[in-house]
Structure 1
């Protein structure tokens, strides 16, 4: 069974935008992070000042995330299955 719920990742936790119905405690989840350039920050209750702080805090990771070597993770499962 797959059931989708939207949420926001903040301070190491995911806050769902609606409460799941009929989902038992302890149910396993899969989390997919969406490209933040496509997220309306106002809808996520993130104001421009908070967004700027987040950008500044994450900027130090950009060089690593965007490096050629990290492209191996674009198809991690496919690459791993060839090992």
Structure 2
């Protein structure tokens, strides 16, 4: 059984947003740290209407960007520097 819970890492401890009701004490866990990749558009001078316009114009590329083959470009600069 897999159970996913959200939480934060603070002062060497994991603080869960909610406690699981169906998980026994002493159950082993695996913790994955996720980097916050939130972009503050307002700080970059982009308002709501501009953001909506950008999203609409880039939507057609979403399937290509999300395809597994495109992961080769995730670390493009590092891979290129090794050539």
TMscore range, shorter length: 0.3 to 0.5
Query: Which TM-score applies when normalising by structure 2?
Result: 0.44
**Higher relative contact order by CA 8 Å / sep ≥ 6: 1 or 2?**
1
